[in-house]
Structure 1
Amino acid sequence: MNRIATLKRQASMLGAAFLMAFAAAANAAPAAAVEIQEVKTPGGLTAWLVEDHTVPIIAMNFAFRGGSALDPQDKRGLATFLAATLDEGAGDLDSQAFQQALESTATKLSFEADRDDLSGRLQTLASNRDRAFDLLKLAVNDPRFDAEPVERMRARLLASVRSDATDPENIASEKWLKLALGDHAYVNKPDGTVEGLQAVTADDLRALRNRIFNKAGLKIAVVGAIDAKTLAPILDEVFGALPATGDLASVPEAQVRKGNAVEVVAFDIPQSVIMFGTGGLKRDDPDFIPAYVMNSILGGSGFGSRLTEEVREKRGLTYSVYSALWTLDHAGLFIGGAATRNDRAAETVKVIQDEIARMAKDGPTEKELAEAKTYLTGAYALRFDSNAKIARELLGIQLNDLGIDYINKRNRLVEAVTLEDVKRAARRVLDSGDLLVTVVGKPDNLTSTGG
């Protein structure tokens, strides 16, 4: 999935989430009540477990370091292709038999490649636990890559890439990443290119699996009706045969372009799609939490944010405008987007630029900070209202090296943010308010500058 599209969707949903946050905080178990066990297996693996027998379901999320940023230049989309074919037959089960086995045990199994990782998700009934993990073991250790499912997945991926090539939001995000990051590997979409997907062979898929799938780069989160004693040998059975280390190339640190620039991409549509941004902070930066609070006030909280107030409510320029912090292993980015009529695109860009410059110069008010803290701490519980959500959250915490106690201290970190902290983070991220902007459409009175 396009990560920028995911960030946009999350930001647009936050207005509704705001209305739910206080009820959730009052009625649901707080995040701090989630008890995480660190499970050490006899084979040397480590996993985080939240044992919960309330419902007879087990959810598991796991990830290997190494994603689409490592795709060869002539085979862009290789990691996504691998993710698409891992559950299309394994061991002595061809694609149809493997899918039937999943269906007969009510097991959901999927894989996904992002720029830095290749991840997997498993969800099953506790009563079908052993068979579900047997199927996962086959997919991880012995995928078949038979000709028929490989070609079927190739056709599906090619159709998606061709569709994205005419989607203005995808075009805007691709152009913005190129404008911001130049030739860095992060510019290349995980979904790949037509030429790259056409060049991938089954041997390429096997070779990439062998490089990525190793115990050193593995993170595991399990939530549900299973205890640590039962889980440990199962994890060794599933992942224990993997090599200790992999053979992955390194990804260089990204250098984000500074300054103002606008790139207009002519596209015959009635609306202009706008993407804007600049460099951000990586997740381990001490100022990340203050920057996160700042972004919530600016454009990350949906309805109620400054950008929504200025761009939508006061001027009626767009239905939705958002901003987000996008953290990658080798880059931190601040991004945002909107869509508006072609004849109001220039005005929309100017309002966004002015509002970001104002935040960079003056920061938020005490009232805005207090409201943001209340919202962010109250809404945190919404991330833990299902086994699947908890497993996803735990995996993200592991991938970001935040520590097993992060859930317990996260809200305290937000509460501790001062007005000066947010102003400092705003100056660091937004600098003087300079923005890189891409616009896809036929905007009036707006042309490319400094591209």
Structure 2
Amino acid sequence: MTRHPARLSRLLALVYLLVRLGLPEHAAQAVPPVQRMVLPNQLVLLVSKEHSLPLVTLQLSVDAGAWRDPQGAEGLAYMTASGLLQGTSTHTATALHEELTFLGAFLQASSGRDYATVRLQVLQRNLDRGIDLFLEVLTQPAFPEEEIRRGIEQTVATVQAAEGRPQQVVERAFEMALFLAGPYGHPVEGTPTSLPRLTREGLIAFHRTYYRPNNAILTVVGDITREEIAAKLLPRLAAWPAGKIPEMALRPQFAQGPKTVQIDRPVTQAHIVVGHAGIRRGNPDFYALSVMSYILGGRLVHEIQSKRGLTYAVNSLFDLGRYPGAFRIVLQTKNASAREAISLALQRMERMRQVMVSEEELERAKRYLVGRFRALFGTQAGLADLLGEVEYYRLGLDYLERYPSLVHSVTREDVLRVARAYLHPESPILVVVAHLKEAGLDEPGKSPPFRSSGP
């Protein structure tokens, strides 16, 4: 057979373009059918077949995120995931890259706070070989010493470079101030102190322990048939042995505000985070909080950015995961405007707790959230991500159909209730990276200087 890797790469690029540009609007919004099965080795398999494009996406979500990092070995989950692509028992990293390029395939591996993901996107005609390489990377990584050490050094350099950027500094300082103990108190990538301690043997042990089928979810999306699943996928997956997964019970501990951290830097604009403890993804108030957070974010933009021109950027969000995360408002402003901008942010939080939102704000938020959710169906990668998340957080296979109605069921009273329950402008964790003298924060008695006052 004549090989044309360049032609295959161009075809795959065309497929991606068609996915993003060529699908009709209703295709991105239609709820795709999903089949779920649990294999004998306890691997959860989710399949969504769609045959308009000759492309298949396989994504494995492994419950092996940074929350499992041992104390003193922060970054272990991250380096284990990235190390999967550094070579296998039969392929060097270079050979693996070359074969994937020939196949016109993309293979990625990464780790987040909760779980690690390994994703393959491959043309349908090369699915057989793509599955082989996908499972080889998952089950037979070599973790070569030289490649792993180089990867650790590169990650240390990246983390250290981030420490020189004010936005990364303020975000990290906020997390250090808020999280006293628990799964989310350290960077996913690790720290300059913890990373050099990691060893090849540690990565091998972490992989051997957690990269097991009974600790994973495999999502298959795209141009694949029932017969291909039975013939090409299931026999290979069945050979992957289950293992005993250690039980871990972590209890997040959060600092109680008010608490202020001020970091003096020679910068022209202040970088600010104000927030407090948040919720976990499984909280039943998730939908009302999503609506409330969107409305609050819109009000912050209007009041602080559009109306007064104080900020370059402002947003609010809840970090959601297996465990409770953080609520935060993130903003940037001129040093001289820092105090005013923070006071306004706290006032907007307080107003959310005191005054019911308008019907117009409520409906606008619902339309946005539902529209954004449906847009996830427009790409295979987006759908694979969503299905893996739905399974991991045990939301139910019908979640894709239920989500719009769950959002639309939120009332103005619900928004007020969750604002009062989950927003705490009276006791925030406040972190400021700024030229403190220009910001008026260098004088005794001016720190902590911010309080919410009135609606």
Task: Give the length in aligned residue pairs.
Answer: 423
8 Å contact kept, 1:360–1:432? no
Give yes or no for the alignment of 1:194 onto 2:189: no
Per-residue deviation at 1:148?
2.7
Residue 313 of structure 1 is matched in structure 2 by 306
User: Residue 357 in 1 paired to residue 355 in 2?
Assistant: no
Contact preservation (8 Å) 1:29, 1:381: no
Q: Does 1:340 align with 2:303?
A: no
2:361 aligned residue (330, 355, 368): 368
The residue aligned with 1:390 is: 383
> Does 2:170 align with 1:172?
yes
Residue equivalent to 2:99: 101
TM-aligned CA distance change 1:103 to 1:419, over 3 Å: same
Partner of 2:5: none
What CA distance in whole angstroms lies between the structure 2 residues aligned with 1:90 and 1:105? 18
The 5 A counterparts of 1:270-281 are 270-281=268-279
Shift of the alpha carbon at 1:41?
A: 4.1
**Distance in 2 (alpha carbons) for counterparts of 1:228 and 1:149:** 39
8 Å contact kept, 1:361–1:432? no
Residues in 2 aligned to 1:312 and 1:106: alpha-carbon distance in whole angstroms: 45
Give yes or no for contact 2:281–2:324 (8 Å, CA) kept in 1. no
- Residue 278 of structure 1 deviates from its aligned partner by 1.6
Deviations 1:170-202 (A, max 9, x none): 111111112111133411101111222212111
Q: Compute the displacement of 1:363 (Å).
A: 3.6
Could you say if the C-alpha distance between residues 441 and 252 of structure 1 is closer, same or farther in structure 2, counting changes exceeding 3 Å? same
Cα distance change on mapping 1:94 and 1:436 into 2, 3 Å: same
Give the Cα separation in 2 of the matches to 1:270 and 1:246.
53
Q: Is the 8 A contact 1:42 1:233 kept in 2?
A: no
Counterpart of 1:172 in structure 2: which amino acid?
Answer: V
Q: Which residue identity lines up with residue 293 of structure 1 in the other structure?
A: V
CA deviation after TM superposition for structure 1 residue 114, in Å: 1.5
Structure 2 SS opposite 1:195: coil
Q: Partners of 1:203 and 1:130 in 2: how far apart?
A: 32
Q: CA deviation at 1:32?
A: 4.5
Percent of residue pairs bearing the same amino acid type: 28
Structure 1 letter corresponding to 2:373? Y
SS at match of 1:188: coil
Q: 1:32 to 1:413 in 2, by over 3 A?
A: farther
Hey, what does 1:288 align to over in structure 2?
A: 286
Q: CA deviation at 1:130?
A: 1.0
Q: What is the root-mean-square deviation of aligned Cα atoms in Å? A: 2.2
Out of 440, 444, 447, the position equivalent to 1:445 is 440
Alpha-carbon deviations, 1:216-245, whole Å to 9, x = none? 221121110012342255444554344423
What is the alpha-carbon distance in structure 2 between the residues aligned to residue 89 and residue 288 of structure 1? 41
Q: Is the 8 A contact 1:82 1:209 kept in 2?
A: yes
Secondary structure at 1:98's aligned position in 2?
A: helix
- State the shift of 1:26 in Å: 9.1
> What is the aligned partner in structure 2 of residue 8 from structure 1?
none
Aligned to 1:421: 414
The Cα offsets for residues 355-391 of structure 1, whole Å up to 9 and x where unpaired, read as 1111122242222112211222233221111111111
C-alpha deviation, 1:137, in angstroms: 1.2
Show the 5 A alignment for 1:94-243. 94-232=92-230, 234-243=232-241
Q: Deviations over 1:315-368 (max 9, x none)?
A: 111121001111121214212201111111111111111111111222422221
Provide the C-alpha distance between the structure 2 equivalents of 1:49 and 1:442, rounded to a whole number of angstroms: 53
3-state secondary structure, aligned to 1:194: coil
- Name the structure, 1 or 2, with higher relative contact order (CA <8 Å, separation 6+): 1
In structure 2, the residue matched to 1:253 is: 251
**Cα offset, 1:29, TM superposition:** 2.8
What is the CA–CA distance in structure 1 between the aligned matches of 2:327 and 2:229, rounded to whole Å?
39
Taking the aligned partners of 1:362 and 1:433, their CA distance within structure 2 comes to 16
Is the Cα contact below 8 Å between 1:222 and 1:391 reproduced in 2?
Answer: yes
Verify the 8 A CA contact 1:267 1:441 in the aligned structure 2. yes
Distance in structure 2 (CA, Å) of the matches to 1:262 and 1:376: 33
Look up the SS of the partner of 1:86 in the other structure.
helix
Matched to 1:269, the amino acid is V
Is the Cα contact below 8 Å between 1:65 and 1:117 reproduced in 2? yes
In structure 2, give the amino acid aligned to 1:103.
T
Q: Who wins on radius of gyration, i.e. which is larger? A: 2
What letter matches 2:365 in structure 1?
A: A
Unaligned runs of 5+ in 1: 1-23, 300-304
**Distance across 2 between alignment mates of 1:388 and 1:337:** 28
Q: Is this contact kept in 1: 2:181–2:254, CA < 8 A?
A: no
1:156 CA drift (Å): 1.7
User: Which range moved further: 136-145 or 61-70?
Assistant: 61-70
Deviations 1:282-328 (A, max 9, x none): 222221100111001111xxxxx100001101111112100111112
Indicate conservation of the 8 Å contact 1:165/1:171, yes or no. yes
Is the CA contact (8 Å cut-off) linking 1:25 and 1:381 kept in structure 2? no
Amino acid at match of 1:156: Q
How big is the shift at 1:251? 4.4
> Does the CA contact (< 8 Å) of 2:282 and 2:322 recur in 1?
no
Counterpart residue number, 1:54: 52
> TM-score, normalized by length of structure 2?
0.88
